[in-house]
Amino acid sequence: MSSKTGEPKGFSFGEAYSHCLSKLKQELKKRGIVINAKTITIVIKIAMEIVEASQVKGDEQKKLVEKIVRQVVVIAPISDEKEKLLLDMIDEGVVGEVIELVVSATKGELNVNAAEKAAAGCCISLLKTRKN
C-alpha cells in the first residue's frame, strides 16, 4: 500500500525525507519557482502539502518540512549572500513559525477578524488622542 505521495507504507524518516525532497524539487521545477526571499513562503506551502500527504505525522512533519526546504535552498543556484539570508531565516526559526501559523489557521485558532478589530480600535483611539 502507498501514501498519497506514492511512498510505500512504513517509510523511515530518512526515506520520507528523500522522497519528499524529490517531490518538492519536481514541483518547484514544474511551476518554474526560483528560490529567493520572496518565494520562500510558496516553497514552504508546497513542502507542507507534500509532507502532509506522506506517512510522516505529528511534530516530525514540521521537522521534515524545515529539512527539505533547507536542502532546496542549499542546492538552489543562488548567490551565497541570498543563500545565507534564507538559511538564517530557517535556522533562526522563521520557517518553523510560518509552519505553526499555517497550522493554527487551518485549525481555526487564528482569528484574523479579531486582530483586525483590535487594530482598528487602536487606530481610532490614536486618532482621538491626536484631535485633543
User: Model confidence over 70-104: pLDDT tens digits?
Assistant: 999 999 999 999 999 999 989 988 888 888 888 88
Q: Scan for cell 518540512, then name that residue.
A: 65
Compute, in degrees rounded to 10, the torsion defined by CA atoms 100, 5, 16, 50: -20
Q: Do residues 53 and 19 touch, judged by C-beta distance below 8 A? A: no
Please give the residue that has the higher pLDDT: either 94 or 7. Answer: 94
pLDDT of amino acid 104: 82
Q: Would you give the distance in Å from CA 30 to the centre of its chain?
A: 19
pTM of the complete model beyond 0.75: no
Region of residue 83 (phi > 0: left; psi between -120 and 50: alpha; otherwise: beta): alpha
pLDDT of amino acid 5: 46
pLDDT of amino acid 3: 45
Q: Do residues 24 and 68 touch, judged by C-beta distance below 8 A? A: yes
Please give the residue that has the higher pLDDT: either 55 or 78. Answer: 78
Is the pLDDT score of 126 beyond 70? no
Rounded CA-CA distance 69/102 in Å is 16
Report residue 54 as a C-alpha cell: 506522506
Is the pLDDT score of 113 beyond 80? no
Rounded CA-CA distance 72/74 in Å is 5
User: Model confidence over 8-42: pLDDT tens digits?
Assistant: 455 677 788 999 999 999 999 999 999 998 999 99
**Could you give the C-alpha distances from 83 to 29, 39, 68, 70, 90, in angstroms and in order?**
18, 13, 14, 10, 11
